Amino acid sequence: MSSHPIGVPCEDRGNPIKAMLRPRRGRARYRPLVRAYVGLGANLGDREATIRRAVALVGELADVAVVGVSSLRETEPWGPVEQPRYLNGAVAVETGLSPRELLDALLDVERRLGRARDDEERWGPRTIDLDLLLYGDLVLDEPGLDVPHPRLHERRFALEPLAELAPDALVPGRGTAAEMLRALDTPPQETGPRADAVH
Ligand code: A4P
Ligand code: MG
């Protein structure tokens, strides 16, 4: 998948990603819109109500439009912590925010829904979790901001709703969402000796 430069990038027409990352100054500057995907998860409280509220709050963010909402699914908890089952889903958004601005806004939605990170253990239960799965075809590895989400390829609970929304969404360096999901279903190849091996 590639980013979707729908806005009018003015003098930055030549390089939409660079234009998008540049701070906006003055009213005449536009940033192109980028398609991003956000994973949603909850396993405490009224999970569905919290996720629906999160989708609504994401849709109310300035410069963010929700353009797709996946179905929600019950999933077995992933990771080393014993905890209740999750409800997971994902949304597609079109945004003029930079990746950092978008993640900060998502973390703020988590806080507004009562998530208190200081009380949590890693991969432990949570009222709401918003993960930035993809931001166009951008790859970022910065303090506090990794895109694509670094564990996306190993998480069925994130890949399934992503592939439902956009099976052809390209995860840079890994293939499409649908291919990654299929790879999770494919058992690893036997690594025993080949039939024609010389003993
Ligand atoms: N951060 C950096 N990049 C990103 C990004 N692309 N998206 C930073 C979101 N956050 C990003 O996040 C901690 C910090 O990561 C953030 O402050 C942000 O600056 P976090 O959500 O507390 O999670 P984590 O400890 O980084 O781990 P991770 O891998 O995001 O785990 P989760 O998703 O939080 O783990 N099982 C099922 N079935 N379904 C689930 O939803 N969730 C978890 C929680 C465990 N098991 C699960 C599920
Ligand atoms: Mg997370």
pLDDT tens digit at each of 199 positions of the chain: 344 333 333 333 344 444 444 455 555 456 789 999 999 999 999 999 999 999 999 999 999 999 999 999 999 998 888 889 999 999 999 999 999 999 999 999 999 998 776 666 676 677 899 999 999 999 999 999 999 999 999 999 999 999 999 999 999 999 999 999 999 988 766 555 544 444 3
Q: Considering only CA atoms, which residue is closest to atom 44 of ligand 1? A: 123
C-alpha closest to that of 93 among 61, 137, 127: 61
| pLDDT tens string 9-26 | 333 334 444 444 445 555
Q: Which domains does the chain have, with CATH numbers?
A: 2-150 (3.30.70.560)
pLDDT at 50: 96
Q: E strands along the chain, which residues?
A: 34-42, 64-69, 73-75, 86-95, 129-135, 140-142, 145-147, 170-171, 175-176
Please tell me the predicted confidence (pLDDT) of residue 115.
75
Q: What SS3 state is found at 176? A: strand
Cβ atoms of 5 and 16 within 8 Å: the answer is yes
Task: Considering every ligand atom shown, identify the ligand nearest to the alpha carbon of residue 115 and give its number.
Answer: 1
pLDDT of residue 1: 39
Which ligand places an atom closest to the C-alpha of 90?
1
Residue 168: count other Cβ atoms within 10 Å of its Cβ.
Answer: 10
- Asked whether the bond before 167 is cis by omega within 30 degrees of 0, the reply is no
**What burial class does residue 152 get, using C-beta atoms within 10 Å of its C-beta: 0-12 exposed, 13-18 middle, 19+ buried?**
buried
**Dist CA 11 CA 83 (whole Å):** 51
d(CA 32, CA 17): 8
Ligand 1 surroundings by CB, under 6 angstroms: 41, 75-79, 86, 88, 103, 107, 117, 122-123, 129, 131-132, 144-147, 149, 151, 157
Whether 3 and 138 have beta carbons less than 8 Å apart is answered as yes
